[in-house]
Structure 1
Amino acid sequence: MAGMSTVAFIGLGIMGAPMAKHLVDAGHDVLGVNRSREPVERFVEAGGRDGGTVAEAVADADVVITMLPDSPDVTAVALGADGIYANAKKGALHIDCSTIRPDTARELAEAGASAGIRVVDAPVSGGEAGAKEAALSIMVGGSDDDVAAARPLLEKVGKTIVHVGPPGSGQTVKAANQLIVAGTLELVAEAIVFLEAHGVATEAALEVLGGGLAGSTVLARKGAGMLVREFSPGFRVDLHHKDLGIVTAAARERGVAIPLGAHVAQLVAALRAQGHGDLDHSALLKLVEQLSGRG
């Protein structure tokens, strides 16, 4: 989308707040909307505008970006009488950066088209650090023209922006991403407990592991915090639990077996059931310690 745009940004949480701030810094007129007031006030202090209600914020917006926790949240904000599609101007672009069900993303694209709103699904990966650094990986589903219109804005918040197919495709790729991340976190957790049990210098061990085939962004970004049991949320267990529900449902829908992924989904569910839903997903380490009799 050429030039500076008026952007309604709905959802100023851990990920949404820094993303919205990057758009402000790029010169866009950004109206922030959030369910609670404090994030909006912080956003105004950072140079954004208070968007008021969803209906008020989207009325004159060229672009609406949503960054919300789950499928029902996005559906409610998009389809309600006071929502995006009933109040945005014809031709506005809705970029949903939330992580939701692929079938929900397809339904939103159809509903948007009926209302004269262009819709792309653009879930992101990279966690809080990636959002703050404008280094997110963004997988985008939608028509060629709509994705092209979204790209200049997405480039202000991400480093890797890839059009992966028609509506819903971005969410399908994000589900695969969450499957890989959860599995990798579990194996990093197991490796750390294994190393500690043998009295190995774990910092040195993770350094050399990170330089070989076992190296990954998950290991690089989460390993050090896991060693010192620092689980302040960059991405909460609750949200990864939700995402793994999306993965398992989508896999079942197409008859795809994900035996390891399904097992990790159960481990994440167990960690959440123990009351750790607000911790970072790297807290899978706590469960491995417990299962090993070392917690």
Structure 2
Amino acid sequence: MGLPMAKNLLDAGYDVVGHNRSPEPEEELEAAGGDTADTPAAVAEQTDIVVSCLPDTDAVERVVRGDDGLLDGLSEGMVYVDTSTISPLATEALAADLETLGVDMLDAPISGGEEGAIQGSLSIMVGGDAAVLDACRGVFDAMGDTVTHCGPSGAGQTTKACNQIVVAAQMVGVSEALVFAENAGADLQAVVDAISGGAAGCWTLDNRASRMIRGNFDPGFFADYQYKDLRIATDAGQAYDSPMPLTELAHELYKSMAANDMGRDDNSGVMQVIELLAGTEARIDE
């Protein structure tokens, strides 16, 4: 995700210095006209705005607080933008620590998958100081089409958790409906076409259902990532005393995907778990 975002920043006229744990993305960034650095600290020393895109909370903590991490290179007046999806509680703590150094942090998790990152059409949910976001608006506009200020530090992560709660509910609901339709003997494509235009209409029906009934679960967003994001949501729900009965169920279904070596399938592949429970597959013959 980070590499196409960096390329879009280059295309928008920004100077980009990047660091990645594996060499291939760095080589591709250099081929596109960017520069690279050996450590996160070295990136921070050469830039005014640092943007990270990492898989989980632990990775962000290591990149920021670890040896040769961002804390060793950030200085007063800089801005740190974290586009990872991580714990809102950890984000609030990190923003508070950076504030003592005179560094502003914007938590800015993204939605839209790799396709959105490549096209520069991501939806970006931002927490932090609105004035800092306004000062960085050009950077955000290069990466996404929809940039929304959601509130103070941590609010971006909270909004992303809300997004993933709804995405998972859609995926599970559509999967359950399609397996039900299969068992009832209905025409699956006709079911998809019919309900997409009514009150049930949603992103999953429009963009994934036709693939699902053809057994196409090539990843746009890994099920492993959906599982991780739901863990973040349920942990935050516990911390904030917010009941999450549906999200807890979805979490268990995605856990089953991970346990059955389906974690690298698309998150719409949760239908395969419903199919295992039903003892049938919801597929069309072509």
Q: Do both proteins adopt the same fold according to a TM-score greater than 0.5, normalized to the shorter chain?
A: yes
**Counterpart in 2 of 1:120?**
106
Give the 3 Å change call, closer, same or farther, for CA 203–128 of structure 1 in structure 2. farther
Alpha carbons 1:60, 1:88 under 8 Å: kept: no
Q: After TM superposition, give the deviation of residue 238 of structure 1 in Å.
A: 1.4
Q: After TM superposition, give the deviation of residue 289 of structure 1 in Å.
A: 0.8
2:268 to 282, 285, 291: 282
1:55 to 33, 41, 59: 41
Q: After TM superposition, give the deviation of residue 199 of structure 1 in Å.
A: 4.1
1:179 to 124, 143, 165: 165
Q: After TM superposition, give the deviation of residue 202 of structure 1 in Å.
A: 2.7
Give the 3 Å change call, closer, same or farther, for CA 109–208 of structure 1 in structure 2. same
**Counterpart in 2 of 1:216?**
202
**Counterpart in 1 of 2:284?**
none
Give the 3 Å change call, closer, same or farther, for CA 44–221 of structure 1 in structure 2. farther
2:32 to 46, 51, 61: 46
**Counterpart in 2 of 1:239?**
225
Matches of 2:195 and 2:10, distance apart in 1: 39
AA of the residue aligned to 1:26: A
**Counterpart in 2 of 1:261?**
247
AA of the residue aligned to 2:248: A
Number of residues paired by the alignment? 281
Alpha carbons 1:70, 1:99 under 8 Å: kept: yes
Alpha carbons 1:86, 1:115 under 8 Å: kept: no
Alpha carbons 2:43, 2:73 under 8 Å: kept: no
Aligned ranges for residues 4-23 of structure 1 at < 5 Å? 15-23=1-9
**Counterpart in 2 of 1:99?**
85
Alpha carbons 2:91, 2:153 under 8 Å: kept: yes
Output the TM-score relative to the length of structure 2: 0.93
Aligned ranges for residues 221-232 of structure 1 at < 5 Å? 221-232=207-218
Q: After TM superposition, give the deviation of residue 269 of structure 1 in Å.
A: 0.7
Q: Deviations over 1:86-117 (max 9, x none)?
A: 21232111100000000111111111112221
Q: After TM superposition, give the deviation of residue 83 of structure 1 in Å.
A: 1.1
Matches of 2:166 and 2:144, distance apart in 1: 20
**Counterpart in 2 of 1:154?**
140
Asked if residue 294 in structure 1 is aligned to residue 280 in structure 2, the reply is yes
Matches of 2:125 and 2:188, distance apart in 1: 34
Q: Deviations over 1:144-201 (max 9, x none)?
A: 2212123221111111111111000110111111111011101111122223334434
Secondary structure in 2 matching 1:182: helix
Q: Which deviates more from structure 2 when the two are superposed, residues 158-167 or residues 126-135? A: 126-135
Matches of 2:211 and 2:114, distance apart in 1: 14
Q: Which deviates more from structure 2 when the two are superposed, residues 246-255 or residues 227-236? A: 227-236
Task: Please list every run of 5 or more consecutive structure 1 residues that lacks an aligned counterpart in the other structure.
Answer: 1-14
Runs ≥4 in structure 1, deviation > 4 angstroms?
Answer: none
Task: Please list every run of 5 or more consecutive structure 2 residues that lacks an aligned counterpart in the other structure.
Answer: 282-286
Q: Deviations over 1:27-53 (max 9, x none)?
A: 111122111111221222233222332
Alpha carbons 1:95, 1:150 under 8 Å: kept: no
Output the TM-score relative to the length of structure 1: 0.90
